[in-house]
Amino acid sequence: MPHDERRLAWAYLSRAIEGPSRTLSTLLASGKEVEAIATAVKKREPWIGDLLAETASRYDWNRAAQDLDDVAALGGRMITPDDAEWPSEALDSAFSFAASGMSEHIRSYQSDAIAPHVLWVKGAPLRPLTAQAVTIVGTRALSNYGRNATALLTRGLVQHSWTIVSGGALGVDTVAHEEALAQGGSTIVVQACGLDRTYPSANTRLFRTIGTSTHSALVTEYPPGVNPQRHRFLTRNRLSAALSLGTVVTQAAWRSGALNTLSWAAGLGKVAMAVPGPITDTNSFGCLAKIRDGDAQMVCSADEIRALLSAVGEIDVDAQYELDFAANPIQKLSRNEMRVFDALCAQPQSATTIAENAGLTVGLTMHLLLELERKALIQRQRTNWVRHPNFKGY
């Protein structure tokens, strides 16, 4: 199929340069056209500076047309900053924050703190999916607790139309993707290889479902044919964090790779969150340490995540908890009302006896007895008082 020169230039650079490349970003920001840069790389023109060294081993890998044809044959496409589908809001906010130098977390990752130049996508349009998205990651060796926590949070977020972003790995990632689909929601898999590669192979069916969905997508920075390698997973983590408003680690051990994504979230100005776990489970030590050190906000529900990622005051988590876990009538009593209620026993008693047992004056006790009767917690039997049958066991 014929391709225009500009798209061929983007595709060529995607393979010739294994990004992210600060040099390429600087050239593009200075107003250099992508076609001119691609031509200069091929002809080894000195004005491109460090890009000469960055492309020394791959400048003759001119497979642009083939790559575009191959991704089309897969049912995918290449997108660039020229395209309406490009997730500009998510990426611009993330990498402009990184460039500001405001975050200590980004200093050790500074060389990689660059936006992608090209993305290869299969599935639904990417930009709408990232408008309200949260990244969920964690250990591959998750426990039942981690599985249930991941599913619970994912379910609660999807019910409010949040897109779930993750890396497609076994464990937490897989549970997050599968639960999002099961709830009829949207999910994004950020891969560390070309779209024609499936890693892990155990998720072949899951990736196929997402890649053919009208409300989910597979995305990668790598052209077809690129295999997954360890350094690419670290680069992938930065993109996973950049495409959402915040990252949640639901379960992670002390040295879990998921914590790298959490650090990227903080470094890119996103909200870093972690789910606490049992101290008896080493797979939760990473989350607990991040919470302890103040490097992640502790979250225990989807509503808490939404409150952190939404406008201030938009979501009142405590008010929702009050509705979900409303106090029973006894728990709502004042301290003195509780003293009177506790002084009552199974047998009817006079106000004087109740006052003695409660350690209150008879006048105050009588006032409180009438209030408890109004609340239908106790009953009057002539001149005596007794607990209402519905509250005898309290």
Domain boundaries, the chain: 1-70, 119-317, 335-391
Per-residue model confidence (pLDDT) at position 313: 55
**What 3-state class would DSSP assign to 20?**
coil
Per-residue model confidence (pLDDT) at position 3: 83
Per-residue model confidence (pLDDT) at position 394: 72
Query: Is there a contact between 53 and 142 (Cβ–Cβ < 8 Å)?
Result: no
340 is written with which tokens? 């009177």
The amino acid that residue 336 corresponds to is N
The amino acid that residue 367 corresponds to is H
pLDDT (tens digit, 0 to 9) for every residue of the chain, 394 residues total? Answer: 568 999 999 999 999 999 899 999 999 999 999 999 999 999 999 999 999 999 999 999 999 999 999 999 999 999 999 999 999 999 999 999 888 877 766 655 567 889 999 999 999 999 999 999 999 999 999 999 999 999 999 999 999 999 999 999 999 999 999 999 999 999 999 999 999 999 999 999 999 999 999 999 999 999 999 999 989 999 999 999 999 999 999 999 988 889 999 999 999 999 999 999 999 999 999 999 999 999 999 999 999 999 999 865 566 655 555 556 667 788 888 889 889 999 997 789 999 999 999 999 999 999 999 999 999 988 999 899 999 888 777 7
Query: Is there a contact between 98 and 268 (Cβ–Cβ < 8 Å)?
Result: yes
Q: Give CA 374 to chain center in angstroms.
A: 48
Fold exhibited by the domain 119-317: Rossmann fold (3.40.50)
Residue with tokens 């350094």: 231
307 is written with which tokens? 């409150």
Q: Which residues contact 123 (CB under 8 A, 6 or more apart)?
A: 76, 210, 211, 212, 213, 214, 216, 217, 218
Alpha helices, DSSP H, located in the chain: 5-16, 22-29, 34-43, 51-54, 64-73, 88-100, 126-129, 144-158, 172-182, 204-211, 230-242, 258-267, 285-292, 302-309, 317-324, 335-343, 351-358, 362-374
Question: Which of 219, 225, 224, 221 minimizes the C-alpha distance to 207?
Answer: 219
Residue with tokens 């690419």: 232
Q: How far is CA 42 from CA 22, 51, 59, 211, 283, in A?
A: 19, 11, 6, 33, 49
Class of the CATH domain delimited by 335-391: mainly alpha
Per-residue model confidence (pLDDT) at position 98: 86
Looking only at the bridges linking them, the beta strands covering 187-190 and 133-137 are: unpaired
Domain 119-317 and domain 335-391 have a common topology: no
What whole-number distance in Å separates Cα of residue 146 and Cα of residue 173? 11
